[in-house]
Amino acid sequence: MNDVIEVKYIKKEEYIARQPWNIDYLQFYLNNHDEPILIQPSFGGTVAPYNMNEETKEILSFIRGKFPDIKVTKEK
């Protein structure tokens, strides 16, 4: 986590079995790396686009608590 400078929360709509699901993703931006690392913290999605999975909430809370220098943003 020492090289992480920003974590961006992203919600993407994907179709699973012809149903729209809103999937949480976290992009980790690192020092000296051109491309961010994309992580899907949960295997499940949400029906509503404004809900965040519990796994995602826990990861972001952990990062905010343990690494206050890392910028946490949300894609609009």
Whole-structure pTM value = 0.80
pLDDT given for residue 47 in this prediction: 67
The three-state secondary structure class of 64 is: helix
CA gap 66, 54 in Å, rounded: 18
Strand-pair partners of 73: 8
Condensed to tens digits (0 to 9), the pLDDT of residues 16-69 reads 888 888 888 999 999 989 999 999 887 777 767 677 888 889 999 999 999 999
- pLDDT for 76 equals 63
